[in-house]
Amino acid sequence: MAEIDYIAIEGAIGAGKTSLANILAEKMEARLILEETEENPFLSDFYKDKERYAFQTQIFFLLSRYRQQRELFAPDLFQKKVVSDYLFDKDRIFASVTLNPNEFYLYERLVSILEKDIPKPDLVIYLQANAEVLLSRIKERERPYEKNINLEYIQTLNEAYNYYFFHYTKTPLLVVNTDRIDFVHNKADLDDLLEQLKKPHVGTKYYVPMGEK
């Protein structure tokens, strides 16, 4: 691995963030930070009635992610290497999709205060996939609170992710299309990706995996 101390992995629901985070944390002997998705008591209701439960769900996630980042990156607890299966900025992506204008205004005022305390990664890996692939992966894992997710929502979310990372400039960014690769079960796919992480990272790089060539 190149000298990268903090990697954050991003992507829409079903992109494979947690799977890759677990793999990289083991390879790097790094502390693993996993998003506490299932701790959100509003999430199941949100997928049943997005308009009614969007604001509660989003604020819970925002404060949960803020608390987790602040605790894990406190100076006395910080380990040399860290791999996270989310970027703190992801909260804004979801909020832009789920909240109405008045709710988003309130949300923006709060997040603008909190984000000042959050450290930036050395590298962000954005796992990209089309909406149909994402929905297929979501259905395969059969999480009860995700059973009401539909293709329209995934398409909207996916477009928001693509737009956000197309304009992303805060840190080095590696964009990986995962439509036809499997870095969990295919060693060649994983080895090819790991080779990319050994290279210097400046700006945005679009990586075409072996399985796509």
DSSP states of 6-45: EEEEE-STTS-HHHHHHHHHHHHT-EEE---GGG-TTHHH
What's the rounded Cα separation, in Å, for the pair 202 and 90? 21
Cα(121)–Cα(4) distance, integer angstroms: 9
Question: What average pLDDT does the structure give for the chain?
Answer: 88
Burial 114-138 (b: 16+ CB within 10 A, else e): bbeeeeebbbbbbbbbebebbbebb
Judged by average pLDDT, the poorest of 65-79, 88-102, 175-189 is 65-79
**Please, what are the domains in the chain?**
6-212 (3.40.50.300)
pLDDT of residue 77: 56
Mean pLDDT computed over 24-36: 88
The pLDDT, as a whole number, for residue 210 is 60
Phi and psi angles of residue 140, each rounded to the nearest 5 degrees, phi first: -65, -35
CA 26 to chain centre: 18
Q: Side chain identity at 88, as an amino acid letter? A: F
SS3 27: helix
Cα–Cα distance between 131 and 197 in angstroms, integer? 26
Residue 89, SS3? coil
H-helix or E-strand spanning residue 137: helix 131-141
User: Which residue numbers are catalytic?
Assistant: 85
b/e string for 172-192 if b means 16 or more Cβ within 10 A? bbbbbbbeebebeeeeebbeb
pLDDT-above-70 percentage for the chain: 93
- Cα–Cα distance list, 162 to 90, 118, 177 (Å): 12, 23, 11
Maximum distance among all Cα pairs of the chain, rounded to whole angstroms:
48
The reported pLDDT for the residue numbered 207 is: 84
How far apart (Å, rounded) are the C-alpha atoms in residues 136 and 94?
A: 20
pLDDT tens digits along 122-175: 999 999 999 999 999 999 888 888 888 899 999 999 999 999 999 999 999 999
Tokens for 40, please give them: 């959100």
Tens of pLDDT, residues 40-90? 999 989 989 999 999 999 999 999 999 888 877 665 555 678 899 999 999
Token pair 């930070």 is at which residue? 33
The pTM of the whole model exceeds 0.85: yes
- Residue whose token pair is 């947690």: 18
